[in-house]
């Protein structure tokens, strides 16, 4: 898994071993491609999702996200490659695999003239849930999405945010172990977005979640890991924190030492040091931006802390510099354009 390899590059071998032992893979795409006629919408995509993770599938409109989610939920067959869900092959064992998944399609079709419980009962019947079992499932789903009070309301009278909750209720009706959500907050106002995100976070305590979005903040707000899609291909696959971590460290100290930059530059693993202009830091403080080589990265922060103490400087802060996801996305887009 690329997210883990990323850690390995930074010297996290023990970490990788540990995680491989505890992680149970519940979603697996292996070299999956999908063509529409001569056009390849999804091109040799591979990634896995361990149990309990919230994975964001991020990309511009047309990047191939919906096509991937349709293949993942068995509504579209791959032209090439394999999709496995909870250990089941999505083509050969489709019905059993689909039973593990709750799916909220983009623009989930609802029947506006129906009342909420009738709609959910209709969906349950389509899925062959016995009538006797339906009431309990519907009540539980409505409770989980916070819609009990609207149970007998016609869908047409609900706000967009509440309608999206109805869509989510049908997805979780049978308590699936995997939730697939296609653009779950699309078209909602900021307050509704906030509420739906909170709901998804709550639901993720009981299910592995994969959601698609073209909104960077959505991924940053909700997901532990992101797969970035560009023109049908995976452009990046990493944990958000790893992706955002750069090979730079920010050190803030109080000192009048005129040789500070030289001292820092001499440390093992440090490739360059620049001092931030005084106007951009608090009065009396000095801030250094320290580039480190990837190979020596894990040892540099402790060495910096020792150097600060040994030099008699006052330590204010020492932390990795985090890149913003927006900048990463732009970098990847530019690199992709350069390859084209």
Neighbour count for residue 64 (Cβ, 10 Å) = 25
The reply on whether position 227 binds ligand ATP by CB under 6 A is no
What is the separation of C-alpha 185 from the centre of its chain, rounded to a whole number of angstroms?
14
Site for ligand ATP in 162-191 (CB under 6 A): none
Q: Give the nearer residue to ligand ATP in terms of CB position, either 67 or 204.
A: 67
Task: Name the one range near ligand ATP by CB under 6 A: 43-51, 55-63, 154-162, 241-249.
Answer: 55-63
Nearest approach, Cβ of residue 65 and ligand ATP (Å): 4
The reply on whether position 41 binds ligand ATP by CB under 6 A is yes
Neighbour count for residue 115 (Cβ, 10 Å) = 17
- CA triplet 107, 101, 169: central angle to 5 degrees? 50
The dihedral through the CA atoms of 132, 138, 139, 144 has a sign that is positive
Q: Give the nearer residue to ligand ATP in terms of CB position, either 38 or 131.
A: 38
3-state secondary structure at position 166: helix
Nearest approach, Cβ of residue 123 and ligand ATP (Å): 23
Q: Give the nearer residue to ligand ATP in terms of CB position, either 69 or 138.
A: 69
Phi-psi region of 231 (alpha: psi -120 to 50; beta: other; left: phi over 0): left
Site map (CB under 6 A) of ligand ATP, residues 56-75, x = contact: ---x-xxxxxxx--------
Q: Please write down the long-range contacts of 322-327, taking CB distance under 8 Å and 24 or more positions apart.
A: 322/244, 322/245, 322/246, 323/243, 323/244, 323/245, 323/246, 324/244, 325/216, 325/219, 325/220, 325/226, 325/240, 325/243, 325/244, 326/216
Site for ligand ATP in 18-37 (CB under 6 A): 36
Site map (CB under 6 A) of ligand ATP, residues 197-216, x = contact: -----------------x--
Task: Name the one range near ligand ATP by CB under 6 A: 54-62, 91-99, 127-135, 321-329.
Answer: 54-62
The pair of structure tokens assigned to 234 is: 């995976």
Nearest approach, Cβ of residue 69 and ligand ATP (Å): 8
Q: Give the residues lining the site for ligand ATP (CB under 6 A).
A: 36, 39, 41, 59, 61-67, 214
């Amino acid at each position: 898994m690329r997210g883990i390899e990323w850690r390995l590059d930074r010297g996290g071998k023990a970490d990788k071993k540990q995680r491989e032992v505890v992680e149970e893979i519940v979603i697996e795409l292996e070299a999956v491609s999908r063509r529409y006629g001569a056009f390849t919408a999804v091109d040799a995509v591979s990634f896995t999702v361990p149990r309990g993770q919230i994975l964001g599938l991020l990309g511009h409109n047309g990047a191939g996200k919906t096509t991937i989610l349709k293949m993942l939920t068995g509504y579209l067959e791959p032209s090439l490659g394999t999709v496995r869900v909870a250990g089941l092959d999505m083509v050969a064992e489709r019905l059993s695999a689909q039973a593990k998944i709750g799916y909220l399609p983009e623009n989930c079709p609802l029947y506006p003239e129906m009342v909420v419980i009738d709609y959910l009962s209709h969906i349950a019947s389509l899925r062959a849930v016995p009538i006797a079992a339906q009431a309990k499932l519907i009540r539980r789903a409505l409770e989980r999405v916070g819609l009990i009070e609207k149970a007998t309301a016609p869908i047409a009278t609900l706000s967009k945010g509440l309608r999206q909750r109805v869509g989510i209720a049908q997805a979780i009706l049978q308590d699936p172990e995997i939730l697939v959500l296609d653009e779950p907050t699309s078209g909602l106002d900021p307050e509704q977005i906030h509420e739906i995100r909170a709901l998804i976070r709550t639901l993720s305590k009981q299910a592995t979640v994969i959601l698609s979005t073209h909104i960077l903040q959505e991924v940053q707000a909700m997901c532990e890991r992101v797969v970035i899609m560009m023109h049908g291909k995976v452009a990046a696959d990493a944990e958000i924190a790893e992706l955002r971590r750069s090979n730079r460290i920010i050190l803030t100290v109080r000192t009048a030492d005129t040789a500070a930059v030289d001292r820092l530059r001499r440390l093992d693993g440090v490739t360059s040091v620049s001092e931030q202009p005084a106007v951009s830091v608090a009065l009396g403080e000095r801030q250094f931006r320290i580039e480190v080589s990837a190979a020596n990265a894990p040892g540099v922060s402790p060495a910096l802390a020792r150097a600060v103490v040994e030099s008699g400087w006052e330590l204010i802060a020492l932390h990795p510099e985090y890149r913003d996801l927006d900048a990463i996305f732009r970098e990847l887009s530019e690199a992709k354009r350069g390859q084209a």
